Every structure is written in structure tokens, then in C-alpha cells.
Chains A and B, each alone.
Chain A
Amino acid sequence: MARRLLHPPRLSTVESLILELLIANDDAMYGLQMVAASRRRLKRGTIYVTLGRMEEKGFITSRQEAAPAEAGGLPRRLYEPTALGRRVLAAWTAAAQHFSPRFAQ
């Protein structure tokens, strides 16, 4: 369950990158897929910690894959952005464009 937001939502650089990837992909993604798509900007050892935190904040949701991808292996967890996550990313990008001319280009 998403943690109740007492303060305005904050988005770190890694969190915004994850949201960008998820929104751009249209479909749910799993951890390794995001690591590969991020061109080494996301690390395998820490991505799940960030994903867990984002889920607590309510920016993304996750579900387990129906069947194991490989025989004997654990089922993968798929991640999707929530409406809140989409709105926070849009607001964060707008704010970044407003305050930093570099983003506006």
C-alpha cells in the first residue's frame, strides 16, 4: 500500500529516470530490463531498493509474472507507473524546465 504523502512528493534523479523509462516503454518492465535500457545509469544492486522506495511512495506498482520465465527460476516482478507517478514526473520535468534553461532546450 502506498505510504500517505505528508509532504509534497520528491523525486530523485534515479527515480525520475525510472519513471521516464517506464512511461516511455508503455508496457510493464522488469528490473534487468530497466538496467539494460538505462545505459548503465541504473545499477543492478540498488535498482530494487529504489523501486521498493518508489512503490512505498506510490509512484509505481508491481506484480509478479504469471509463470516463471525459466524452468526452476523465480518469477520476475514487473513494474508499472501509477497515475501519481506520471503526474509527479510531469510536474518535476516542468519545474526543471522552468528553473533550468538547459532542460528547456
Chain B
Amino acid sequence: MSVPGTRLRALAARACSERTMERLIDPVIGDLQLEYASAISLKRRWLALLIGYVAFAKVSLWCGLFGLREVRRNWSVDDQRAFNRTLLWIAVATVASTVVVGLPNLLHVPDMLSINANARIERLILYLVPSTLTFGVPAGLAIGAALGLSQRVRSRRLLAAIGLVAVLSSLASLVNVAWVTPIANQSYRAELIGDLLVGKGQNELTLTELRSSAGGTLLYHLRLAIGVAPLTFAIFGVVVATRRWRRAAAIGIACAGVVGYVLALNVGRSLNYHEVMPPRVAAWMPHVLLAWATILIARLVASSRPVVTRRCA
């Protein structure tokens, strides 16, 4: 059996500098190994492992923050240009995806006024925005990353910065899907019916309310999964955007990934409805499939020849 922490150390060595390894990672791993070796009972060994891994997680978080500081310090003009271009494409793709996702609902808004003539159309449209963003943001990140990075030279600093954008988008998306969207949905219903005390459906329950409600398990896990989606989609978009393929192919694959995710989500819902698949599996299955596709594409990219184009930087 290998000494505990060896694999963690090897993993950290791939991401951290020699100095960080020497100052932060190695002492923490060393403590873990020392305490594990000196523990007399099995229970104490498990405890030593748990405490050691928690300490490692904390140090890793610090390493991430130091890494971002380094990224900022070594940021070049080329990085800045590439980052701005990618951000712009992400913004454009997010707006476009949001409009495409929200269009069917938007077209129905005027019809909804027949329910309550006093309802204000601009408010109804505003309340629809958060729910359309739940898919608009992940789709925008995948397609935008593919558009912005395809056929371009990508530095590690640029990828780290885009990773940070994806993490922040994921956090914002989680807040949106957990609290903002349900409140907006409820406001939409209240505006239509003209009664602020209208009862809540499952789509109007916040994440905390949904957790304690009966029959809301699938929706609860779906919201968590959709909250993480921007990060998964950004990784997918970055992997797809390679110099080895033509740009149109990259964009096509990114779009196919988005469509595939939505299809898998609906299949998961349906399978859960027919009690074939547990809610947790149904909610996270699209992520697993997307991650699998990302790995496959990454392998395919590694084995394919680069495409020669005039624009390289």
C-alpha cells in the first residue's frame, strides 16, 4: 500500500510551482503522513487522514488564490487581448442563447394579457429573464469560448482567467437558479393573476424550500446541476476550441454539446418520471455525459493534426 498523500502530492505538483510545493503542499502532506504513521488505532488513522485532507483542501484554496495573483502579475498585452475577445464572444453568445431559449415564452406574453389586462408587459418580460439565463449562460460560455479561443494561441494564464470567469458564472448561476428564478417566477404569476398571495408551484420554490418539500427531489438536484453547468460547459468549450480543427467545426461541436445536454436533461426527467432512474442520477447524468464527451474530444484533439490557417495569434 502506498503512503497516504502520495497521489495528492503528485496531483498538486502538476498545478503548483516548485516554491509552492516546498513551502505549502509538502509540509501539509508531511504532517498527514506523520500523523497517519504515528496513529495507533484504525479509528485514529482515519481521523488523521480526514484532518490531513481538510488541511490540504484549505492550503489548496490558498494556492488557487496565489495562482491568480501570479496570473495577474504575469499578464501580457496578448493575454489581455485574447481575454477581452473571448469575454466579448461569451457575452454575445450568452445574449443570443438567452433570446433563443426565451423566445417561445416571450411570444406568449401578449396572449397572457388576456388573463389580466392590468398586468404590465415589461414586468412580465423582466420576470422571464432569470429563468432564460439558466440555460443562456452555460450555452453562452461553451459557444463563446469556442468562438473566442478557436484557432488561437492560448497561454495557461489566459485559460486560468477564463476558468475564473467560469467559476464566478457558476456561482452566479447557482444563486440565480436557487433563489432569483423562483422569486421571479412567483412574481410573474402574481403579476398575471393580480394577487400577491397566489400559491407557489414547484418552480416557484427556492432551493431551501424545495429541499424540505415533498416530491421536489428531482428539481432540487436539477437546480444544483444546472448551477454547476457554466463550469462544465466552459471546460467543454475550451477543449473544443482547438487549433487542430477549423473554427466552424469547433462552434458546431459546442452547439451540439448544448443541444445534447438539453436532450439528456429531458431524457433524465422522463426516466425519473417513469421511476427508471433515481432523481440524483437523472439530474447529474447530463453532466456525466458532457464530461465524457469532453474527455473523448480532448483525446481526439491530441491525436489529430493541426489545421493550417493564416491567423495564428
List the interface of chain A (C-beta within 8 A of B): 30-32, 43-46, 48-49, 51-52, 55, 62, 69-77
Contact = CB atoms under 8 A, between A and B. Distances in A.
A70 B36 CA distance: 10
B79 interface: no
B55 A45 contact: yes
A52 to B, nearest CB: 4
B22 to A, nearest CB: 8
A48 B27 contact: yes
A70 B34 contact: yes
A52 B23 contact: yes
A49 B28 CA distance: 10
B73 to A, nearest CB: 14
A44 B30 CA distance: 12
A72 B27 contact: no
Interface of B: 3, 5, 9, 22-24, 26-31, 33-35, 37-38, 51, 54-55, 57-59, 62
A51 B31 CA distance: 15
B303 to A, nearest CB: 37
B54 A55 contact: no
Nearest to A53: B23
Contact of A52 (B24, B35, B58): B24
7 contacts: A48-B24, A48-B28, A55-B23, A73-B33, A74-B33, A75-B30, A77-B26
A30 B58 CA distance: 19
A67 to B, nearest CB: 13
Given A55-B23, A70-B38, A73-B3, A48 B59 contact: yes
Contacts, number: 62
Given A70-B38, A73-B34, A76-B34, A45 B58 contact: yes
B34 A46 contact: no
Q: Which secondary structure dominates chain A's binding surface?
A: mixed
A32 B26 contact: no
Contact of B55 (A44, A62, A70): A44
A69 B24 contact: no
B33 A72 contact: yes
A70 B29 CA distance: 13
Contacts of B54: 45
A45 B23 CA distance: 13
B58 A74 contact: no
Nearest to B35: A32
